[in-house]
A and B are shown apart, each in its own frame.
With several copies, the nearest count.
Chain A
Amino acid sequence: MNLAVNIGGIFMKNPVATASGTFGYGGEYADFIDLNKLGAIVTKGITLLPRGGNPVPRIVETPSGMLNSIGLENPGVEVVLEKYLPYLRGFDVPVIINIAGDTIDDYVRLAATLEGVQGVSGLEINISCPNVKKGGLAFGSDPESAAEVISEIRGVTALPLIAKLSPNVTSIARVAERVADAGADAVSLINTLTGMSIDIRKRKPVLANIVGGLSGPAIRPVAVRAVWQVYQAVSIPIIGMGGITCARDALEFIMAGATGVAVGMASFVNPRTTIEVLEGIEAFMKENGIEDVAELIGSAHKN
């Protein structure tokens, strides 16, 4: 049975990755799962300089989901390379660094810094964070500026580039087309939907940042649809995510066209979700006599 997939040059032994920002820098979950079993580890989004993030409250639960407005708190690229990467190099798993910036120059400098660093298998370019004032979603919500970020980064690195796309746009397929043209090796989708919640007793937004990003099972139908549409629009591989809690959910994404899947906030609820998703996919393939996971990718388009 073959589970291995190739995400734009990143060889994954199975399709199951972690979603940025929901798995820390890997070690946090090592008590619960064998990291070596993962298809890939995607780190929390990092920036050139350390960031404190937004004020609290930063999260609020919503029906079958949650809003977060972390605001890219991270210790900066230097600390990540010194403190966290050496640990991750100890595992036989591709590490994908998720990067964000306020300006195109920030992205370019980050990418250049990470170029050639041992243990970095690829970059996920976060142009879809709804929780920072500058950069982030501002780039991702316009196909042309999204393409510009990607092509500038492309200029400084040979690392596989995965453009992380936002669902907060009129046409995610159009953004995917443009980043593919600009040199992205793969796309990952979806980042969170912009949302908010109001505390009716205090008569003010719950999150200090007012808006936050909606994730969890609530958004899965939107995410599956996005993967479906992007699969029809581009030929580069897709990492699908948004509300995956079990193998059934992951298979929805794969059948819609995702080559890889990422488990996000479900890890908070059940730290073993990634592994259970993997085991469930294997069980499904066995039951259905499927030899290669490739047979399942995009299969819902054919029926």
Chain B
Amino acid sequence: MFNSKYEIEENYQVFPGHYLMAFKSLDIARTALPGQFLHIRCYQGTEPILRRPLSIHSINKEKNLVYILYRVCGRGTGLLSGMKAGEMLDVLGPLGNGFTMPKNDEKIVLMGGGIGAAPLFFLLEEIKTHFDKRIDKVSVFLGAANSDLIVGKEKINKMGFSGYYATDDGSSGFKGTVIDLFETIWTEGSPDRIYACGPSPMFRSLAEAADKNARIEVSVEEHMGCGLGVCLSCVCKVAGPGTSTENAHICVDGPVFDLRKIIF
């Protein structure tokens, strides 16, 4: 876990309202795992004061570049989008627990809703590195409001994964949610493992749609203070021993959880 300032390499709009930023960090590039996140200070003054949690989108290990892909939706991400190459970025991370890696023979589905898809690419990179022979067992389902907002279609193709796309308005691919698309395409059997990132309603539908035997790992969001398990702001209820429930803290126990354990 590091807290340091790293030089921004590039930062530009990839599609309307969404930016891709790369910064140079040997620390993070060498140690981060897919699904982990960074806690980023968007301004050196006191307003806005809190750091912003953003997933690691991708890592270029040769160049020690760490990528984040973010949607501008408030003051923090607004300030972030104004930062230029050469400026220094104050990053705390990598934080939390990432995805567990698939076992050799598993049929795998990755599922992303909107900007939620951001962290899946780092996972795809790792899967490609370690399971290059079996990437035909991997399917990627992405959904977005419209075709402009689908994240990384080309990259998925280039990496050799099969991608399936849904849009709310039907402007590209399937018209409907990514879960609808999944149910339409995946008619036989069940994937062994599903990785999903997106808004929580998506997780609820997924819990219903998916086969009971599939292991489902989801990345959960909640407002965060410290990112270190200190402030206790980022609680999510999970199943405890027996029938009990307990508090998990998303920043340290997550953000990735076994969907079946989360109590909505």
Q: A162 to chain B: closest CB distance in Å? A: 21
B17 at the interface (CB under 8 A from A): no
Selected contact of B235 from candidates A21, A23, A53, A65, CB within 8 Å: A53
Residue of A with least CB distance to B252: A28
Contacting pair B232 A58 (CB below 8 A): yes
Contacting pair B3 A53 (CB below 8 A): no
B92 at the interface (CB under 8 A from A): yes
Selected contact of B3 from candidates A21, A32, A61, A245, CB within 8 Å: A32
A265 at the interface (CB under 8 A from B): yes
A-contacting 9-mer, from B44-52, B138-146, B172-180: B44-52
Residue of A with least CB distance to B1: A31
Q: A residues within 8 A CB of B229?
A: 24, 28
Given contacts A58-B223, A60-B223, A68-B225, whether A269 and B50 have CB atoms under 8 Å apart is yes
Q: B residues within 8 A CB of A268?
A: 50-51, 225-228, 230-231
B222 at the interface (CB under 8 A from A): yes
Selected contact of A269 from candidates B41, B222, B232, B235, CB within 8 Å: B41
Q: A71 to chain B: closest CB distance in Å? A: 9
A78 at the interface (CB under 8 A from B): no
Contacting pair B247 A53 (CB below 8 A): yes
Contacting pair B232 A216 (CB below 8 A): no
Contacting pair A28 B46 (CB below 8 A): no
A52 at the interface (CB under 8 A from B): yes
Residue of A with least CB distance to B231: A268
Q: A residues within 8 A CB of B1?
A: 31
Q: A residues within 8 A CB of B47?
A: 63-64, 217
Main secondary structure of the interface of A (DSSP, over half): loop
A267 at the interface (CB under 8 A from B): yes
Cβ proximity bits B202-243 to A, threshold 8 Å, 1 near / 0 not: 000000000000000000001111111111111110000000
Selected contact of A73 from candidates B3, B46, B227, B232, CB within 8 Å: B232
Given contacts A31-B1, A271-B3, A271-B92, whether A66 and B50 have CB atoms under 8 Å apart is yes
Residue of A with least CB distance to B222: A56
Within 8 A of B (CB), among A40-64: 44, 52-53, 56-61, 63-64
Q: B residues within 8 A CB of A23?
A: 230
Q: B residues within 8 A CB of A168?
A: none
Cβ proximity bits A20-33 to B, threshold 8 Å, 1 near / 0 not: 01111000110110
Cβ proximity bits B96-113 to A, threshold 8 Å, 1 near / 0 not: 000000000000000000
Q: A280 to chain B: closest CB distance in Å? A: 16
Contacting pair A21 B247 (CB below 8 A): no
Q: B47 to chain A: closest CB distance in Å? A: 5
Could you list 8 examples of A-B contacts with CB < 8 Å?
A22-B231, A31-B1, A56-B222, A64-B47, A65-B49, A70-B231, A73-B235, A268-B228
